[in-house]
Amino acid sequence: MTDSIIFTPITIGNVSFKNRILRSSVGGRMANYDGTVTDVWKNFEKKFAEGDVAGIISTTFHVNQDRVSPLQYPSIAAQKFVPYLRKYIGEIKSVGNCRYIVQIGDPGYTTYTSLFPEEQDAKTSSSGFDLGFGYNNTRRKMSVAEVERSIRDFADAAARVVETGADGVEITATKGYLIHQFLNPGINGRKDEWGGNPDNRFRFLGHVVNAVRDRIGRNFLFGIRLSAADLNYRPLPLALLRWPSPLSSRERWLGNDEQQMLDYAQRLRELSIDYLHVVAGYGFPNPRDVPGPFPFDEIKMFFNSTRHLSLKAAVRSTAFNTLPAPFGRWLLNLGWHKEQGINLDAAETFKDVVGLPVIANGGFQERTFIEGALESNRCDMVSMARALIANPDLLATFRAGRNLPDNMCTHCNKCVGRTAVSPLGCYNRDRFPSRKAMQDQIMEWNRPDPAFGVSKPPASGSPQ
């Protein structure tokens, strides 16, 4: 079905894409401990290029040298990272004319892990408490000098992205990361020029976008991953961990609604970005970012791995281990459900109102559903990760005219819950004939290059 709209090329900015499917941002421990990328990372990304996706949006590369988290995730916070990225991104792009977009961000107080507890891992828009995210006991307000330094970090990182030979840069203003922490009134309680009203809460992102565009030029592809609405109250069990006071204002309880985010998106268009990557919700994971069940057992595994970092982390881990598993799964799954194209309505609204090309994300997998979204002009491209991890040859399935792969992704979110603690791959045992088969596939996803350029070492006695 090469006549399907899925395989119709599209140009955004100055970059042409051969079809309408992107591999979306997905994390994994495939870099060195200092954040330099490896051949394992390169081979993981190449799997998707070999599967014929039009482009890959990277995991979020760190822009701050002091917050490299989770450990073994890639960084672009210094010049030393550029040669490795240039080498490997070139190899990825050489497969089937696959475009590569580097997503950059700073986790701020939601920093997941650290070798040792660090004060800078608590820095954010304003002070407060959040049991669900980050490991520091409390989050701490950044000084104006630190805010200005962070803006320069983003600009410097974007300039390095250009040097890597990537096709574009995407800034994450979602995931509960630092920019989102400034945008969200439930987190940003500042009273200076960086908070207190919608204009001031947008100021940080606006300054970042201006600084980045100044450094990368007008012709380099530049997108923003934006939450269509914060939905701070969803899901309620996790929201209560973040908003302990029921007396909080309505704005702080709800966060930015869609109308406010549309206003921000229109401002971004005026600042000359090229596209929007639309999701919804605050923090990661959340039920609008990764629709499906809450990965209770996998998140417990992660909390156990970080319990040594603070009292809060220890209490959180203890709570997860104390809860009877059936009750814990039921409680934490309130508000979570599987829904294909869960953010498609929001993507359509942003496309219509803002007038920028829009990439939709959230639970896509079915060919006819994707075709319907594209044909009705509800979005311009679709991004996915879990469905492609389960079936990297998904586009071959679509080309053959089939609606779904035989062994489709169940969106169980086990891979999502393990990204910071395990090799990345599919962990749904039901999709494999045996646990060994599942383990073998996970290891295949995380394979290094052969040591000697071939599949076996030289014969005994041969020159080394």
Per-residue pLDDT tens over the stretch 189-224: 999 999 999 999 999 999 999 999 999 999 999 999
Q: What CATH number is given to the structural domain containing 395?
A: 3.20.20.70
Structure confidence by residue, pLDDT tens digits, 168-182: 999 999 999 999 999
Question: Is 92 part of a structural domain of the chain?
Answer: yes
Instruction: Please write down the HEC assignment for all residues of the chain.
Output: CCCCHHHCCEEECCEEECCCEEECCCCCCCECCCCCECHHHHHHHHHHHHCCCCEEEEEEEECCCCCCCCCCCCECCCHHHHHHHHHHHHHHHCCCCCEEEEEEECCHHHCCCCCCCCHHHHEECCCECCCCCCCCCCEEECCHHHHHHHHHHHHHHHHHHHHHCCCEEEEECCCCCHHHHHHCCCCCCCCCCCCCCHHHHHHHHHHHHHHHHHHHCCCCEEEEEEECCCCCCCCHHHHHHHCCCCCCCHHHHHCCCHHHHHHHHHHHHHCCCCEEEEECCCCCCCCCCCCCCCCHHHHHHHHHHCHHHCHHHHHHHHHHHHCCHHHHHHHHCCCCCCCCCCCHHHHHHHHHHHCCCEEEECCCCCHHHHHHHHHCCCCCEEEECHHHHHCCCHHHHHHCCCCCCCCCCCCCCHHHHHCCCCCCCCCCHHHCCCHHHHHHHHHHHCCCCCCCCCCCCCCCCCCC
| pLDDT computed for residue 452 by the predictor | 77
Question: Is 89 part of a structural domain of the chain?
Answer: yes
pLDDT (average), residues 299-303:
95
Question: Is 460 part of a structural domain of the chain?
Answer: no
Question: Is 312 part of a structural domain of the chain?
Answer: no
Structure confidence by residue, pLDDT tens digits, 24-59: 999 889 999 999 999 999 999 999 999 999 999 999
Domain count, the chain: 1
Question: Is 299 part of a structural domain of the chain?
Answer: no
Question: Is 163 part of a structural domain of the chain?
Answer: yes
pLDDT at 403 over 50: yes
Question: Is 148 part of a structural domain of the chain?
Answer: yes
Question: Is 72 part of a structural domain of the chain?
Answer: yes
| pLDDT computed for residue 459 by the predictor | 53
Tell me which residue range forms the domain holding 31.
5-292+339-445
In the chain, pLDDT over 90 holds for what percent of residues?
Answer: 86
pLDDT (average), residues 109-123:
94
